[in-house]
Chains A and B, each alone.
Chain A
Amino acid sequence: MTEARSVDVPRPVSDITAAGRFLFVAGVVLLCAWVLVPIYLLLVNTLSSPQEVTGFPKTGLPSFNLGSLQFFAQFAGVGAALWNSVLVAVLTMILSIGIGAPAGYALSRFDFPGKGAFRMLVLMTRAFPLPLLALPIAVMFIRVGLDDTPIGLALVHTTLAIPFAVLITFSIFSGIPLELEEAAWTLGCNRLQAFHKVVLPLVLPGITASAIFAFTISWNEVFAASVLTVQNRTLTAFLLQSLNVSPLHLRFAGGAALVVPALVFIFAVRKYLFAMWGIANR
């Protein structure tokens, strides 16, 4: 009896919650550090002189020496590679939204025979290792004269981005009640006017987010870029190609050049990431 009672005495609740609370906060801090510290270390190397980058031991603090960055900026081909990356990414963004958004709109607004088949086609692309497409497409491009051109690479990157563009714009359009469009029709609009005056202003932020997402896909893509470009290398292709021949500080500065814009992109689309995936899931 007495034993049972002593076991029954509850521990003070505050103790348990305090311990749990501490573990929880520690977990959050640890996970944030896990994400942020490696990026910080890359930036430390980027903001150190070439000698410091190869030097030993490292302090873990940046010296704010711009030597590495200067070397990177003046390295032959870097400027062109950066320009190509931006150009290809912008083309990808325009193509994938221009082609993907109408499809997303059709999927969200109409029921028609063949809808399931189209959805299947889009979802199927997920089961395929898409960058490998670059191999046969390289041959195709040589035949039509698109080899080693930004537009050629953008076409392949658009293939990577279109499934996302379709599914994301589908979910964005689905978030606009059809009733709003119908109200516009009863108030004197035809379909195009209703889209322009009612749907477009409402979806614009979301469409921008998915455009940025498409930009990021292209910006980050390595394999197809390496396969399809020779003279007109993008930054990723350039870095990959020079990995084993270039000095460390060039690689780190190049890595930072890839990472920093990506941080901005993700910040810009952060609000939409979850909504996009919530529905793109189904």
Chain B
Amino acid sequence: MNNKSLPYLLLLPATLFLAVFFVYPFAQIAVQAFTAEQGFTLQHFDKMATNWKFWPSFWNTIILAAIVVPLQLVMALAMASIVAKLKTGRNSILYVFTIPLGLSDLAAGIIWLAIFEQSGFLSSMLVGLGVVDRPVLFLGYQNLWVIFIAVILAELWRATAIVMVILVSGMGLIPKEYYEAAEVFGAGPWKRFLKVTLPMLRPSLQTALILRTIAAFEVFAVVVALGGTSLPVLVGQTYDWQFNLRDSGGAAATALVILAISIAATLVFLRLLRTPRGATP
């Protein structure tokens, strides 16, 4: 059964599709960001960087990712370790933990809006507890840091699940004997986690970090749902350039900035968490 052309035939649709809808558009973004009527130019980047919202949106995006991703990693590790220890009800609890995986960032934003809006559940609770005596406007532009916290909570709430799923699957691939060996040599639970689980999870950690960091750089709908335009982020800027300012050069330039930090983050994680050759079980 040696049909040499069959695999290529099977790959052809996907390859063509990715060429037309992935490679080509990205080439176009790149071209568009660097060209104007007179040919090569940096004017789009110039324009983009001098827009007063660019640097706030840049730093907001980076800082959000820098806070959210590590926290998610810690939470996901805790959740995955708990799941690994569970005997009864493992499946139900796993299902509960994975629910947010199926939710959009927009839905997450709206959900946390129900909590943080002025007449929302947080205000109600604080009044009920007597901490404040009237509803608080949490998400006003005067309280940028509250919007920030709300976005972080919503992102933690929504996107920790994917990290956990990746880590749980990764833990499932670690042979039990390693733990038993570590235990025989006197390692307690914490030592076993540090010396066995973490190093063996390296490939899963890498996947999870890359996936999550890139997604964090794309944060958009949560921010819009919770903060409107008060808290600018990079994807929101791209959207603004395209639709409000009707300038696709500026949009392309901003998109390239997102792409650049995404690739930079990917390379960092690939290097930082690379598995030495032959060190796989």
Contact = CB atoms under 8 A, between A and B. Distances in A.
A and B touch in the complex (CB under 8 A): yes
The residue among A112, A127, A130 with the most chain B CB atoms within 10 A of its own CB is A127
Contacts of B151: none
B18 interface: yes
Interface stretch (A7-15, A76-84, A134-142, A199-207): A134-142
A166 B98 contact: no
Contacts, number: 268
Interface size class of A (residues with CB under 8 A): 35 or more
Given A133-B22, A262-B104, A281 B166 contact: yes
B210 A223 contact: no
Q: Is the interface of B mostly helix, strand, loop or mixed?
A: helix
A122 B17 CA distance: 11
Interface string B10-41: 11011101100110111011001000000000
A64 interface: no
A258 B166 contact: no
B7 A42 contact: no
Interface stretch (B116-124, B180-188, B190-198): B116-124
Binding site secondary structure of chain A:
helix
B14 A102 contact: yes
Interface stretch (B48-56, B65-73, B140-148, B219-227): B219-227
Nearest to A38: B111
Interface in A41-75: 41-42, 44-45, 54-60
B85 A251 contact: no
Nearest to A95: B17
Contacts of B6: 106, 110, 191
A166 B10 CA distance: 11
Contacts of B79: 31
A36 B102 contact: no
A198 interface: no
A240 interface: yes
Q: Which 8 A-B pairs have the closest CB atoms?
A: A220-B104, A255-B110, A278-B169, A266-B102, A106-B10, A57-B124, A262-B102, A136-B28
Interface residues of B, number: 92
Contacts of B123: 56-57
B220 A99 contact: no
Given A39-B99, A220-B107, A281-B169, A129 B262 contact: yes
Given A57-B124, A126-B211, A129-B218, A220 B95 contact: no
Given A31-B79, A103-B11, A127 B114 contact: no
Interface string A208-230: 00000000100111110011000
Contacts of B172: 274, 278
B77 interface: no
A267 B99 CA distance: 8
Nearest to A277: B169
22 contacts: A36-B96, A38-B157, A41-B115, A45-B114, A56-B124, A129-B259, A132-B258, A133-B21, A136-B24, A156-B21, A158-B17, A185-B1, A222-B221, A227-B243, A240-B225, A243-B225, A244-B228, A270-B94, A273-B165, A278-B173, A281-B170, A281-B207
